Amino acid sequence: MCPDRIIRRFAGVFILASIALAMMVDTRWYWFTAFVGLNLLQSSFTNFCPLEKILGYLGMAGCKKEAA
């Protein structure tokens, strides 16, 4: 399991980057912002986070790779 702060940092960076891209490039980038927000909401109910699995697979410090 990854520390929550890693997940929150990634989410914050994704949200800020997508807002910047929406303002400078194309407003359709707001869909990415909505996707990140919905993913955070669903993970608060289900305790399943795709980013956590990806980081574990990549060997991110503090994240464990789950057995298949």
Question: Tokens representing 30?
Answer: 């707001």
Q: What is the CA radius of gyration of the chain?
A: 13
pLDDT for 61 equals 66
Reported residue count of the chain is: 68
pLDDT in tens, 15-28: 999 999 999 999 99
Question: Tokens representing 26?
Answer: 């194309």
Q: How far is CA 66 from CA 16, 45, 52, 54, 63, in A?
A: 30, 20, 10, 10, 9
Question: DSSP 3-state assignment of 61?
Answer: coil
Residues of the chain with pLDDT below 70 are 1, 61, 65-68
pLDDT for 15 equals 96
pLDDT for 67 equals 58
